[in-house]
């Protein structure tokens, strides 16, 4: 899956983080915002920060397939192979149960990169 976060220029990252921070301030229980923050942290090669955000997304919504997938990547980058494999297993199980599920962060990514303010 192509990730919109890769299309942002490095100088845009600060604005993206400000928008995500504001979205989380307005709704700290929004799993999609936490997952997006985790994905962007992965893009920035910060797997520790990514794992924190992704764990929170999963705590808020345990069946969030994309968060489990991204967390498996973060764990692998941190050298936690066992945890990475466990998260990948969870991701696959969720996808088998709901094969039509989409990336739930797509809407918030579109909003952030279109320059709209979070609700």
Domains of the chain: which residue ranges? 11-113
Alpha carbons 80 and 22: distance in angstroms, whole number: 31
pLDDT in tens, 99-113: 776 556 555 455 544
Phi/psi-derived region of residue 97, left when phi > 0, alpha when psi is between -120 and 50, beta in every other case: alpha
pLDDT in tens, 8-43: 455 577 888 899 999 999 999 999 999 999 999 999
The CA R_g of the chain, rounded to the nearest whole Å, is 14
Position 45 pLDDT exceeds 70: yes
Q: In terms of CATH architecture, what is 11-113?
A: Alpha Horseshoe (1.25)
Displacement of CA 66 from its chain's centroid (Å) = 7
Q: What is the pLDDT of residue 105?
A: 55
Q: What is the pLDDT of residue 26?
A: 95
Neighbours of 82 (CB within 10 A): 8
- The fraction of the chain above a pLDDT of 70, given in percent, is 75
């Amino acid at each position: 899956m192509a990730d919109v976060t890769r299309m942002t220029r490095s100088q845009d990252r600060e604005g993206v983080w400000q928008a995500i921070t504001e979205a989380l301030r307005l709704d700290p229980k929004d799993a999609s915002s936490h997952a997006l923050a985790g994905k962007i942290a992965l893009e920035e090669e910060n797997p520790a920060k990514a794992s924190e955000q992704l764990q929170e997304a999963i705590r808020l919504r345990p069946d969030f397939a994309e968060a489990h997938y991204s967390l498996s990547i973060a764990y692998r980058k941190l050298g936690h192979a066992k945890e990475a494999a466990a998260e990948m297993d969870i991701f696959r199980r969720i996808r088998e149960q709901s094969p039509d599920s989409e990336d739930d962060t797509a809407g918030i990514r579109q909003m952030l990169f279109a320059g709209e303010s979070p609700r």
